[in-house]
């Protein structure tokens, strides 16, 4: 195991888009950042781009839909660093945008939950023993205002007409995971929060989105670096609370 005094952050699904930008912004604060990626080559390429900018970034193979991959990654981190200070559950999929609930294929529903819910839960659960070894563990689940039941029912919401049951329900479930772990860890230094990055110009968000990845990464990075008196068990967008 390396003698590593710096904080260690793991970002899942980080070889491109929002995850990559979150990794970059975290690295600018002086952390060691692990880019989690299903494709080992793409993860390595992403890490090399940030290394070329002088950042302490490394890649780690991690498929959030594969329990054995998650276990191997956790063992790898333990052997190399002995702890984990920050976990950002960023990996996610959106396969049913614009699809009415009555037309949703149950296979798509299951596949969405496999990554967005079960994957995030499995990673969090596997990494928690390492996060408990941190002096100030931080867990950030990348959610969406589309998962807010309050917002979904608000006729004045920008997203009121949006249809995407699988994705929206998965983010609602992810928020429940945030709340339950925050309650379990309330008496520890670990903080657990959900972050909505907004509608961003990524492969998932499309070029029509109004937000940039730089803007979207701000709130997750803020939550990942909260001080001791920062919030836990919350849901935030633009550093402001989002109704559940």
Active site residues: 167, 171
Q: Which two tokens stand for residue 67?
A: 């329990």
Residue ranges in the chain assigned as alpha helix (H): 17-27, 40-51, 67-81, 106-113, 120-131, 149-152, 165-184, 213-224
Question: What does the DSSP 8-state code read for residue 200?
Answer: B
Nearest to 186 by CA among 126, 234, 147: 234
β-strand partners of 33: 9, 57
Helix (H, G, I), strand (E, B) or coil at 9: strand
What's the Cα-to-Cα distance from 174 to each of 35, 38, 39, 90, 118, rounded to whole Å? 21, 21, 24, 11, 9
């Amino acid at each position: 195991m390396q003698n590593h005094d710096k904080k260690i952050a793991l970002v899942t699904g980080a070889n491109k888009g929002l995850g990559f930008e979150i990794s970059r912004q975290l690295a600018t604060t002086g952390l060691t950042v692990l880019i989690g990626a299903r494709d080992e080559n793409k993860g390595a390429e992403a890490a090399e781009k940030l290394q070329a900018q002088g950042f302490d970034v490394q890649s780690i193979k991690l498929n959030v839909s594969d329990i054995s991959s998650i276990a191997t990654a956790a063992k790898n981190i333990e052997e190399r660093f002995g702890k984990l200070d920050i976990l950002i559950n960023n990996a996610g999929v959106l396969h049913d945008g614009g699809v009415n609930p009555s037309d949703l294929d149950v296979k798509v529903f299951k596949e969405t939950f496999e990554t967005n819910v079960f994957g995030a839960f499995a990673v969090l659960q596997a990494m928690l023993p390492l996060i408990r070894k941190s002096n100030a563990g931080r867990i950030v689940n990348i959610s969406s205002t589309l998962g807010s039941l309050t917002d979904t029912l608000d006729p004045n919401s920008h997203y009121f007409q949006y249809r995407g049951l699988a994705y929206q329900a998965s983010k609602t479930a992810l928020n429940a995971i945030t709340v339950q772990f925050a309650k379990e860890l309330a008496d520890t230094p670990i903080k657990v929060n959900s972050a909505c990055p907004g509608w961003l110009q990524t492969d998932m968000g499309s070029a029509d989105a109004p937000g940039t990845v730089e803007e979207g990464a701000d709130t997750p990075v803020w939550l990942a670096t909260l001080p001791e008196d920062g919030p836990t068990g919350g849901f935030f967008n633009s550093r402001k609370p989002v109704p559940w």
